[in-house]
Amino acid sequence: MEKRLIIATVLSVLVLLGFSYFYQFPLSPKKEAEKKDVVVAEKTPEAKKDASAEGKALAKKAKQSPLPSEKEIIIETDLYRAILTNRGAVIKAWELKKYTANGKSHVQLIPQVDGIIYPLSLETDGVDFNEKTFAIDKNSINLNKDKNKETLTLTYTDPKGVKVEKRLTFYNDTYKIDIDLSAEGIDKPLLFSIGSDFGIVDKTKTGYGSHIGAVASVDGKVKWDLPKKAGEAVQYQGKIAWAASEDKYFIASIIPKNKIDEVIVRKEEMERFNTLIKFAKADKLNETLVLYAGPKEYSRLEAFRIGLEETIPLGWFWFIALPLFQLMKWLYKILGNYGIAIILITAIIKVIFAPLTHKSYKSMKEMQKLQPKITALQKKFKDDKQKLNIEMMGLYKTHKVNPVSGCLPMVIQIPVFIALYNVLSYAIELRHAPFFWWIQDLSAMDPYYIFPVVMGISMLIQQWMTPAAPTADPIQSKMMLLMPVIFTFMFLSFPSGLVLYWLVNNVLSIAQQVVTNRYLTPPPSAEAA
């Protein structure tokens, strides 16, 4: 029974790890009741003629050709460098100064390719604002700690009475900008675009459950539904808290201050996603929006108080993950190395659970002593299961052994492990964070597979130090021997920071087992007495 409990626990961990590793968002099955606010629409010839009705607006935007009247506005802050253009009053570039893409160049949140739809684009039937020249009141903005914020106004008017104004307020100490959008003389719905893949830096599937593409908060629930074919659209209706485009570490989100009518997610060519906010009444429109375009730093996202931090998947045990995450950052401030911080956190967790682990090990030893008697009972009452159970419970009671107590402490530790697993898998703080020697990025796999192999060896040593009972089921024994091999192959592509945690945990477990065997286990003579 003890063996079965241990195997069940290990398999539970494997299932949880495998689920997060292989399964992409959404993290929970879609319920029919949750689908009522989602409409998937595919392009038809009729839809091509009615851009507003099907959310097709902005998708036809092609490569912009230079115009004599086009001017670029440079925005410089301590955190980012942005380039806006008066042609369409859109953002052309958004460069993060605190993050690098390859160790050399800064992260670019807007794809530098032709034919994309730029953030803050507007379009409605009859007027393509992306081709219009807006008047500007500034040619550049340069912010620093002495000058924290400044506003840029871009305005377009035409003889027919159409007027559109975008007032953008930039700040030096945050990745957000405040947007005041007003429009007059437009009697049709107006579409406001977050842009093609704005906020997506790495389009490679990482395999750790990270989502790439559009995401929105609708009626308090985070929605990851994406159209599957180019030209299709997913439409959300309800209480929209925010709509965004994201990858594992970065996000660009539009946060409306007032109620909006609809969010449309379109899939374009080249596997690009465009997220659009629809305003049904564009005449005399006055809307206040917030754009956040930057890293998924938990404190910055949580400060909005609208659930934007839920795009960092801390999982079911977030209430455990958050304290561990804060502890990791605090240790980093002292030590200056996230690898050492992970080692210390692992040691702290091991100390906290040391009494439970010791109790588990003692229970396993006691069960091993009873194994011959249990086997004898199984042979004696092999045809009477009810009598067998009664006799075995009597045996446990006589020797004061609880068959579950050996595995229960392990089960209690699973939530802590899963919480730390999510922290180490998704924390942007570990992105490109060096440890030592060949480990120069704790968020990436070990390039030479040294940590996973050593981790597998440590698991084998643990098994060697815990001998199986002589009457153990051969199939179960072989299954236990396969565990180090399975874990080693699983961990080959895991972030090295996560493998470091597991390796250190195994080493500390081995050390604790040595101490328990040598100093804390009663000698045979004492037991006999």
pLDDT tens, N- to C-terminus, the chain (529 residues): 444 545 555 555 555 555 454 444 443 333 333 443 444 444 333 333 443 443 444 444 434 445 557 899 999 999 999 999 999 999 999 999 999 987 678 999 998 888 889 999 998 887 889 889 999 999 999 999 899 999 999 999 988 889 999 999 999 999 999 999 999 988 888 999 999 999 999 887 654 557 888 999 998 899 888 888 888 888 888 889 999 999 999 999 999 998 887 899 888 877 788 889 998 878 889 999 999 999 999 999 999 999 999 999 888 889 999 999 999 999 999 999 999 999 999 999 989 888 887 777 777 777 777 778 888 888 888 888 888 888 888 888 887 777 666 666 667 778 888 888 889 889 999 999 999 999 999 988 999 999 999 999 998 888 777 655 444 556 666 666 778 888 888 888 888 998 999 899 899 988 888 887 776 665 554 443 4
Q: Are residues 14 and 42 in the same domain?
A: no
Do 168 and 283 belong to one domain? yes
| Same domain flag for 32 and 83 | yes
One domain for residues 306 and 389 = no
DSSP 406: T
Q: For 463-490, what is each residue's pLDDT tens digit?
A: 777 655 444 556 666 666 778 888 888 8
CB 200 within 8 A of CB 213: yes
Residues in the chain, total: 529
Token output for 16: 């949880």
One-letter amino acid of 396? Y
Same domain, 14 and 64: no
On whether both 438 and 298 belong to a single domain, the answer is: no
For the chain, helix (H) and strand (E) counts, in that order, are 13, 21
The enclosing domain of 300 has a CATH number of 2.70.98.90
Residues 91 and 150 in one domain: yes
Contact 122, 129 (CB under 8 A): yes
- Supply the pLDDT for residue 377: 84
Question: Domain span at residue 498?
Answer: 2-19+321-528
With beta carbons less than 8 A apart as the criterion, state whether 258 and 250 touch: no
Residue whose C-alpha is closest to residue 307's, from 264, 261, 237, 244? 244
Domain termination residue (choose one: 312, 338, 367): 312
Report pLDDT for 528. Answer: 39
Q: Which of 312, 331, 355 is the last residue of a domain?
A: 312
- If one counts the domains in the chain, the total is 2
Same domain for 354 and 300, yes or no, is no
386 shares its domain with 254: no
Cα–Cα distance for residue pair 504/508, rounded to 1 Å: 6
The domain boundary residue, chosen from 272, 287, 312: 312
Single out the residue of 419, 399, 395, 400 nearest to residue 501, CA to CA.
Answer: 419
The string of DSSP codes covering 248-299 is SSEEEEEEESS--SEEEEEE-GGG-EEEEEEES--TTEEEEEEEEEEE--HH
Claim to verify: residue 95 and residue 231 sit in the same structural domain: yes
Same domain, 167 and 206: yes
88 conformational bin, left if phi > 0, alpha if psi -120 to 50, beta if neither: left
| Burial of residue 382 (number of CB atoms within 10 Å: 0-12, 13-18, 19+) | exposed
* Host H or E run for residue 367: helix 354-380
What is the structure's pLDDT at 68? 56
- Same domain assignment for residues 230 and 355: no
Instruction: Give CA torsion, residues 296, 299, 304, 309, to 10 deg.
Output: 50
Residue 163 one-letter amino acid: K
DSSP conformation letters of 405-443? TTTHHHHHHHHHHHHHHHHHHH-GGGTT---BTTB--TT
